[in-house]
Amino acid sequence: MNQELPGTYVNLLVEVIQKWNVSSEQLLSGTGISAQTLSAPFWYVDFDIFNHLLEKAALLTHETAISLYLAEEMRISCYGHVGIAATASETLGDAIKILEQFIGLHCSVFQPKLKIHAEMAYLYFHQPSPKFKLNQHGMMFLILGFSQILENLAQNKLGIHFKFQQEKPDFYKNTQKFNYSNISFECEKDCLTFNKTLLRLPLKTADALLARLSKQQCEQDATKLTLKRRQKDSLDGQVKTLLYHEDDGFLSLKQVAEKLHLSERTLQRQLSNKQTSFQSLVAEVRRNQAEQLLKQPKVSIEQIAERLGYADISHFSRAFKKWTNVTPKFFREVSIGRSCS
């Protein structure tokens, strides 16, 4: 299952590209995201799809720095109840603690972490999974967007300095509007930093009762999400266990549904409710099986392609490269070489 981001990021992107007379239909074509999805109270977008949408938005608008314009429009409401709780906090530091604690409700791809060193406060943006990294557009949007959130909460400029691990992107070099003097590239970590005294800054939107109630709501949401993820993992696990047999190969949706004593439609609906699909699970199992088989030098790549249900080796190679960004041959050479060292 791929990682996900708040769908509100896409809602925000749709708003921004309209300034270039680009419609949501143009942007979202082929992604499976409908107008109905956009109007949902809170929804999630596949990590790879969001990266793709940022690249596509840059092409459609002919504005390579579209992520910087997107960051300017970032707002705390993108995080639902978490945003409300942060807004109602007593101080800026309290608001950041809320974001640290609950941002994972809506996004597991990055984790904000506040640390104090000497006179400065550092808000780091850690991406825990090596498989899911925001592209250069995404990181610029995320970190600059977070600064927008903090300054909106404080209703004041905070003198923030930005540090990025990535090299200076070409789109940043060529965009005069955003050539800030307070941005550094090729740094050790992704973070934003400001004077620690600003953490004590009282928020004009502070509301003790609302802060308590909204934090309770965040805690309830966290409990529900944990339960939901456990239930999803349970169903996912059952389906993944059943859908592939070493001798028979991959079973059909109908065959798996029968083994679970469900109708095809019911199984599809339950998987959809858990934000996945039968085909997504098939792809995940195919990838896992492919990686395991490629580590066995006695099984040829042609045999692996056939065993996994591909018409020929070229179809398998394209699919594997889409999953891993490397060819099956390269993966095998690296894996075998690693195991021998």
Q: Based on the domain organization, do 116 and 219 belong to the same domain?
A: no
Final residue before a domain boundary, out of 248, 276, 304: 276
Nearest CA-CA partner of 24 in 48, 46, 7: 7
Q: Based on the domain organization, do 38 and 167 belong to the same domain?
A: yes
Q: Based on the domain organization, do 135 and 215 belong to the same domain?
A: no
Task: State the pLDDT at residue 337.
Answer: 60
Q: Based on the domain organization, do 187 and 231 belong to the same domain?
A: no
Q: Based on the domain organization, do 174 and 270 belong to the same domain?
A: no
Q: Based on the domain organization, do 124 and 222 belong to the same domain?
A: no
CA distance 41 to 147: 25
CA distance 116 to 29: 44
Report pTM.
Answer: 0.66
157-161 long-range contacts, CB within 8 A, separation 24+: 158/194, 158/198, 159/194, 159/195, 160/192, 160/193, 160/194, 161/192, 161/193, 161/194
Final residue before a domain boundary, out of 167, 190, 206: 206
When divided into structural domains, the chain yields a total of 3
Nearest CA-CA partner of 57 in 23, 18, 27, 34: 27
Range of the domain at 34: 4-206
How many beta carbons lie within 10 A of that of residue 87, not counting itself? Answer: 22
Q: Measured on CA atoms in the order 90, 96, 101, 105, is the torsion positive or negative?
A: positive
Q: Based on the domain organization, do 184 and 227 belong to the same domain?
A: no
Per-residue pLDDT of the chain (341 residues; tens, 9 = 90+): 456 788 999 999 999 999 999 999 999 988 888 888 899 888 888 878 888 899 999 999 999 899 999 999 999 998 989 999 999 999 999 999 999 988 876 676 788 899 999 999 999 998 766 666 788 888 899 999 999 999 999 999 999 999 999 898 887 777 777 767 789 999 999 999 999 999 999 999 999 999 999 999 988 888 777 666 666 668 888 888 888 876 678 889 998 888 776 788 888 988 888 888 999 999 989 998 898 889 888 889 999 998 888 888 999 999 998 888 888 988 888 776 655 54
Q: Based on the domain organization, do 245 and 333 belong to the same domain?
A: no
Q: Based on the domain organization, do 98 and 38 belong to the same domain?
A: yes
Looking up residue 294, the CATH number of its domain turns out to be 1.10.10.60
Task: State the pLDDT at residue 341.
Answer: 44
Q: Based on the domain organization, do 217 and 311 belong to the same domain?
A: no
Copy the structure tokens of residue 75: 């707002």
